[in-house]
Chain A
Amino acid sequence: MAAVSGLTYCFQERCLLDDVYKYCFHLLEYMHPRITTLISGFLQLVSCFETRKLTSARYRVQEEGSSEALPSLIKAITANEVAGFDSVEEHHDLNRRFKSTLVHPLSTSIFGIEAAAMENENDLSKPQRTHSVSISMPPSPVAAHLQNTNRVLFRDEETVLGNDNPISAATVSLQTKQAKFYSQPMPKGCALNEAITSGTFPNLPVRNPRIDKLKDKRFDSFKTWSGRLERQLSNLRGKHREESEQEPQPQRRAEFENLPVDRYFDALEGPELDTLRASEEILLPEDKKWPFLLRFPISSFGICLGVSSQAIMWKALASSASTKFLHVSPDINLVLWLISIALVLIVAIIYALKVIFYFEAVRREYYHPIRVNFFFAPWIALLFLALGVPPSVSQTLHASLWYILMTPIFCLELKIYGQWMSGGQRRLSKVANPSNHLSVVGNFVGALLGATMGLKEGPIFFFAVGLAHYTVLFVTLYQRLPTNETLPKELHPVFFLFVAAPSVASMAWARIQGSFDYGSRIAYFIALFLYFSLAVRVNFFRGFRFSLAWWAYTFPMTGAAIATIRYADVATSTVSKTLTIVLCIVATLIVSALLVTTIIHAFVLGDLFPNDIAIAISKRRPKTTRRWYNRRSGSSDTKVEEYLKYSNSDSKDIEGSTNSSDRQEMPVSLHKKVERHHPTTFQNRENLMCFCEVFTTRIKGGALCSPESSWELDF
């Protein structure tokens, strides 16, 4: 646990540039003293001689690894997995000092054992042999395949320490059938954790930093260069690395290409499509915090939207004729405007860094059916900044600014609306979601800004495009088509985006026409109605996980307040003035409440930027454990990255996959059996799940069919 916490600690440090090497050394430095203290009690169990021997051997492995990365990686995994088995045994029987896990293939020939043993010998070198641990975890995929039919005997013997001949050990164990155990590679992180807690420390202090580096290559697959640059540099310097290390990369890239929209719907759930379904797996480790940039979503620009719209509101309050009686100081606008400029700058810089360093992640966000709408947010925020510019700073803006700001919006619209109309599977009847309003509202904001700046035709263009597509979107959302997969079934703050487009449109139309005429009023009253119909249901806006995207849902309220100010200018009455004040207060309160929540989440809870699951879904759908296993045992060494993924995903993942419907009954019965026989062995649920997974795999993998495999699970 210390190691894990250390790991988490290291990842909690929000370094902008995720330097893998640095993390590894951090990890090592951090873990070393802790582990030594933690293990001091257990340390006596292992002789100093043994430890030293192990350590030296490890370093030898390390040297090998430096010349040849992949085998050493496998070795490390193997060692870890073996350690996991060890620990289980230790839990079971604490007074035993050494134990052995032996492979005993009953259903294969003795040649199989020999081969496995030899391979073991070759690959794992000395420490494993002194441990006499064998292929509980296959040293190579071939061996894993072999193990499909293998049985492993867990022995409670302490004889085989330093035994150089595993076959003899196996023979011995054959005679004393005490514990028979269907073995599969011990899955995943629980083994590692268990190993750490139970003090199979020799692994840890001497952990090969290179292995750690390789492990963190998972993040590399999201990086823009993912080592290619380094490779090129080293190639320039004349150092040619082996191809085996880089081989997984193109494969990974191929997986990133064109992730179909259906995968997003299959793998994710929730109104913002940001929660992973139980049966799914992701490409990045779920159990630790990812690099900060990977966790930084595009929806962060929502903050800019919320704050800069507030700046506009206070500007309108200070300058409008209808709100003169409030005597609002224009300084508030100035302050808010400066704050929002700073926010936009910060968020933009961070996101630009993400674009530079993790372009794959950005691309995945772009293909995400809901996130893509947030790509409008930065430009809308800039438009808001231009709209809310304080009179003291600048009275007029140059027209070219408008063209510059509208160009990216126009290009994005060509893409998004084109997708709706004719592009592949992203048809509107499928992807329609209230957040699509963000892609429409940009038109109206642009039209408003352009008309405010005195342009004529450009604002009409964007207003027309916006109106046409807003009509389409509005009708589609109201229809709640059964094909709409992302439409939230229950109320959610995202519905407030409904208010945004008509309220901004009313202002834009008023600016285009020069007066708040009937067209504007129609749009304004539509907005007001939608606002109230949502406001009376405010009770239901509870129980959702806070996310940064909520900021984007506040600007519609501010927009409605601003529109009310404009309306009160032409319809001067007490009612309109009261409405103005109420709406302004509500908008301000909501924004401040959100600010407080954000601060709490950022500094108290520290989960403002949780792992961004949405970008890490895998392309293929994981069907069964069997497939999972086949993939693992699958053909080539290039799968190591994938392998790592599986061996490290945490217990939640296993639980999720075990809970999937097609494997319900079997594990349960197995649990009971296992628990009855060895109540102490399976101390925690994680462990249990690991074993169940193993059993299920076995059963599904065909062990059931072979006659000699028996159902009884003797230990």
Chain B
Amino acid sequence: MGEQVPQSPISVVVDPPMIITSTNPQEPVIVAAKEAASDSILSRLHAGYFRICLSFGAQVLLWKTLNEHVNETNSIHNIFHTRSFPSTAFFLLYWLSLCTLILLSFLYILRCIFYFRLVKAEFLHRVGVNCLFLPWISWLLLLQAIPLRKQSKNFPCQMLWWIFVVPVVILDIKIYGQWFTTEKRFLSMVANPTSQLSVMGNLVGAWAAARMGWKESGVCIFSLGLAHYLVVFITLYQRLSGASRFPAALRPAFFLFVAAPSTASLAWSSISGSFGVPCKMLFFLSLFLFTSLICRPSLFKKSMKRFNTAWWTYSFPLTFLALASAEYSREVTGVVASGLMLILSALSVLVFLGVLIVTAANTDTLLRENDACLSLAGTKTTNN
């Protein structure tokens, strides 16, 4: 099976600059491309597509939070003179995201059944493995966003939480263990911005647990996540092996720098019960990193040339930041905090809509053509 992987249809090269190694013989790749064109959608649907669900889930949560915010404080009411956000839109969004998530999950399960070797290849890839956290984060987000009036310790929710968190923890144990035991996969070798997704899995899990009232489990997963976040953050800042190995098409993943501290801030505020100084610090860090990133548009120029699903990574970190700012403005009442929340929320919604429109316009390329990350996964396994 392992021998077959190199010949897998995934090893299609979409864009010549995205080839990692030029040593690969070109002909098999082209042949593989032709095969892939006639291949089913399952072979091309990798875990990276769950970014869409994640963005949807984050949007849903943002709308929900804003709704609560309006009801609790009247800061937005004062500005907009609206009593509440249209709840129909929220429900629509929720069901839409739920359907998307269910559909994608179903397809991915099918992929696991029929193309297990591809899933395995994804698992062995240093970017792909982090994308495996995406479905679980999406589910956890949607779990939090359940539109119930009284959302607390109900049994099904807790069961669902366990179902979604256990895979995250298993993946954590596997990956974090590899970071310091497996020589090929030391953190200094495999660290890339998407590694923060693994951390985010923990943090979102902790957040959901805390919101359901399970403080201890929340703290447990939070500490696990935060410790590794520290390690990943430092390693990423050092850029040991260099960002050159990180393909330009995946550069939007730099926005995960923003997402991780925001999530941590949200999780800790849920755990501690208030948006205290540590939460503020994490939020401010995320704000600073966001400013730092949008000051460098040239970083993302290459990835903007051609649409791929990585663009969705622009959307959900911003939404997380907006969520954190909403929490912040709930704690710190003031024009600045509210203004910040409004700006960030508006920005997040706009980016979400923008990426949505672009995706809708590129539906043909979305699943018909092969994705950059996909080809990456293939090439990488070929190397191995």
Partner among A427, A467, A475 whose Cβ is within 8 Å of the Cβ of B234: A475
Partner among A414, A423, A468, A483 whose Cβ is within 8 Å of the Cβ of B233: A468
Chain B positions within 8 Å of A512 at CB level: 277
CA distance A418 to B257 in the complex (A): 12
Partner among B233, B242, B282, B292 whose Cβ is within 8 Å of the Cβ of A418: B292
**Contact status of A461 and B234, CB under 8 A, knowing A417-B292, A422-B299, A429-B239:** no
Q: Are A476 and B238 in contact (CB under 8 A)?
A: yes
Q: Are A468 and B240 in contact (CB under 8 A)?
A: no
Task: Give the distance to chain B from A258, nearest Cβ to Cβ, in Å.
Answer: 13
Judged by a CB distance under 8 angstroms, whether A525 is at the interface is no
Q: Are B234 and A471 in contact (CB under 8 A)?
A: yes
Judged by a CB distance under 8 angstroms, whether B312 is at the interface is no
Residues 257-299 (chain B) with a chain A CB within 8 angstroms = 257, 261, 277, 280-285, 287-289, 291-293, 295-296, 299
Q: Are A472 and B240 in contact (CB under 8 A)?
A: no
- Smallest CB-CB separation from A430: which chain B residue? B239
Task: Give the distance to chain A from B53, nearest Cβ to Cβ, in Å.
Answer: 27
Residues 225-246 (chain B) with a chain A CB within 8 angstroms = 230, 233-234, 236-240, 242-243
Q: What are the nearest 7 A-B pairs in CB distance? A: A464-B281, A427-B239, A461-B284, A464-B284, A429-B238, A472-B237, A418-B292
CA distance A473 to B246 in the complex (A): 22
Partner among B239, B257, B288, B295 whose Cβ is within 8 Å of the Cβ of A465: B288
Q: Are B282 and A464 in contact (CB under 8 A)?
A: yes
Chain B positions within 8 Å of A483 at CB level: 240
Q: Are A427 and B284 in contact (CB under 8 A)?
A: no
Judged by a CB distance under 8 angstroms, whether A11 is at the interface is no
Judged by a CB distance under 8 angstroms, whether A181 is at the interface is no
Q: Are B277 and A472 in contact (CB under 8 A)?
A: no
Chain B positions within 8 Å of A417 at CB level: 288, 292
Task: Give the distance to chain A from B257, nearest Cβ to Cβ, in Å.
Answer: 7
- Smallest CB-CB separation from A418: which chain B residue? B292
Q: Are B237 and A420 in contact (CB under 8 A)?
A: yes
Chain B positions within 8 Å of A48 at CB level: none
Q: Are A460 and B237 in contact (CB under 8 A)?
A: no
**Contact status of A457 and B280, CB under 8 A, knowing A417-B292, A422-B254, A465-B288:** yes
Interface centre among B282, B296, B332 (most CB of A within 10 A): B296
Residues 454-481 (chain A) with a chain B CB within 8 angstroms = 456-457, 460-461, 463-465, 467-469, 471-472, 475-476, 481
**Contact status of A428 and B239, CB under 8 A, knowing A421-B292, A472-B234, A475-B234:** yes
- Smallest CB-CB separation from B236: which chain A residue? A421
- Smallest CB-CB separation from A421: which chain B residue? B237
Judged by a CB distance under 8 angstroms, whether A513 is at the interface is yes
Chain A positions within 8 Å of B280 at CB level: 457, 460, 464
Chain A positions within 8 Å of B336 at CB level: 457
- Smallest CB-CB separation from B265: which chain A residue? A464
Chain B positions within 8 Å of A513 at CB level: 277
- Count how many chain A residues have C-beta atoms less than 8 Å from C-beta atoms of the other chain: 30
- Smallest CB-CB separation from A479: which chain B residue? B238
A-B residue pair count with CB separations less than 8 angstroms: 80
Task: Give the distance to chain B from A505, nearest Cβ to Cβ, in Å.
Answer: 12
CA distance A471 to B280 in the complex (A): 18
Q: Are A465 and B296 in contact (CB under 8 A)?
A: no
Q: Are A422 and B296 in contact (CB under 8 A)?
A: yes
Task: Give the distance to chain B from A257, nearest Cβ to Cβ, in Å.
Answer: 16
Q: Are A418 and B277 in contact (CB under 8 A)?
A: no
Given A413-B288, A421-B254, A469-B237, output 6 extra A-B contacts at Cβ < 8 Å: A421-B257, A429-B238, A460-B277, A460-B280, A464-B284, A483-B240
CA distance A234 to B237 in the complex (A): 52
What are 25 A-B pairs at a CB distance below 8 A? A417-B288, A417-B292, A421-B237, A421-B239, A421-B257, A422-B243, A422-B293, A422-B296, A428-B239, A429-B238, A429-B239, A456-B332, A457-B332, A460-B280, A460-B284, A461-B284, A461-B287, A463-B281, A464-B281, A464-B282, A472-B237, A476-B234, A481-B240, A483-B240, A512-B277
What 1/0 mask marks residues of chain A from 521 to 554 whose CB sits below 8 Å from any chain B CB?
0000000000000000000000000000000000
Q: Are A465 and B285 in contact (CB under 8 A)?
A: yes
Chain B positions within 8 Å of A471 at CB level: 230, 233-234
Chain A positions within 8 Å of B299 at CB level: 422
Chain B positions within 8 Å of A423 at CB level: 296
- Smallest CB-CB separation from B241: which chain A residue? A429
Task: Give the distance to chain B from A119, nearest Cβ to Cβ, in Å.
Answer: 51
Interface centre among A432, A472, A513 (most CB of B within 10 A): A472
CA distance A467 to B237 in the complex (A): 14
What 1/0 mask marks residues of chain A from 148 to 189 whose CB sits below 8 Å from any chain B CB?
000000000000000000000000000000000000000000
Q: Is the interface of A mostly helix, strand, loop or mixed?
A: helix
Partner among A456, A457, A481 whose Cβ is within 8 Å of the Cβ of B238: A481
Chain A positions within 8 Å of B238 at CB level: 427-429, 432, 472, 476, 481
- Smallest CB-CB separation from A428: which chain B residue? B238
Task: Give the distance to chain B from A556, nearest Cβ to Cβ, in Å.
Answer: 22
CA distance A465 to B280 in the complex (A): 11
Interface centre among B230, B242, B292 (most CB of A within 10 A): B292
Q: Are A414 and B239 in contact (CB under 8 A)?
A: no
Task: Give the distance to chain A from B47, nearest Cβ to Cβ, in Å.
Answer: 25
Q: Are A428 and B237 in contact (CB under 8 A)?
A: yes
Q: Are B332 and A414 in contact (CB under 8 A)?
A: no
Q: Are A460 and B296 in contact (CB under 8 A)?
A: no
Task: Give the distance to chain B from A458, nearest Cβ to Cβ, in Å.
Answer: 9
CA distance A647 to B261 in the complex (A): 58
Interface centre among A413, A414, A469 (most CB of B within 10 A): A414
Task: Give the distance to chain B from A415, nearest Cβ to Cβ, in Å.
Answer: 8
CA distance A414 to B289 in the complex (A): 8
Chain A positions within 8 Å of B332 at CB level: 456-457
Q: Are A418 and B296 in contact (CB under 8 A)?
A: yes
Interface centre among B254, B282, B288, B293 (most CB of A within 10 A): B288
Chain B positions within 8 Å of A467 at CB level: 281
**Contact status of A414 and B281, CB under 8 A, knowing A421-B236, A422-B299:** no
Q: Are B233 and A472 in contact (CB under 8 A)?
A: yes
CA distance A117 to B245 in the complex (A): 60
Task: Give the distance to chain B from A368, nearest Cβ to Cβ, in Å.
Answer: 20
Task: Give the distance to chain A from B330, nearest Cβ to Cβ, in Å.
Answer: 14
Chain A positions within 8 Å of B281 at CB level: 460, 463-464, 467
Partner among A414, A432, A464, A476 whose Cβ is within 8 Å of the Cβ of B285: A464
CA distance A300 to B284 in the complex (A): 33
Chain A positions within 8 Å of B291 at CB level: 414
Partner among A414, A457, A469, A481 whose Cβ is within 8 Å of the Cβ of B295: A414
Interface centre among B236, B284, B295, B336 (most CB of A within 10 A): B284
Chain B positions within 8 Å of A414 at CB level: 291-292, 295
Residues 123-150 (chain B) with a chain A CB within 8 angstroms = none
What 1/0 mask marks residues of chain A from 287 to 318 whose CB sits below 8 Å from any chain B CB?
00000000000000000000000000000000
- Smallest CB-CB separation from A512: which chain B residue? B277
CA distance A465 to B240 in the complex (A): 22
Residues 487-540 (chain A) with a chain B CB within 8 angstroms = 512-513
Task: Give the distance to chain B from A331, nearest Cβ to Cβ, in Å.
Answer: 38
Chain A positions within 8 Å of B295 at CB level: 414, 418
What 1/0 mask marks residues of chain B from 341 to 356 whose CB sits below 8 Å from any chain A CB?
0000000000000000
- Smallest CB-CB separation from A462: which chain B residue? B284
CA distance A475 to B291 in the complex (A): 24
- Smallest CB-CB separation from B242: which chain A residue? A427
Chain B positions within 8 Å of A464 at CB level: 280-285, 288
- Smallest CB-CB separation from A415: which chain B residue? B295
Chain A positions within 8 Å of B234 at CB level: 471-472, 475-476
- Smallest CB-CB separation from B328: which chain A residue? A457
- Smallest CB-CB separation from A411: which chain B residue? B295
Interface centre among A456, A464, A483 (most CB of B within 10 A): A464
CA distance A17 to B237 in the complex (A): 43
- Smallest CB-CB separation from A422: which chain B residue? B299
CA distance A468 to B237 in the complex (A): 10
Chain A positions within 8 Å of B254 at CB level: 421-422
Residues 279-335 (chain B) with a chain A CB within 8 angstroms = 280-285, 287-289, 291-293, 295-296, 299, 332
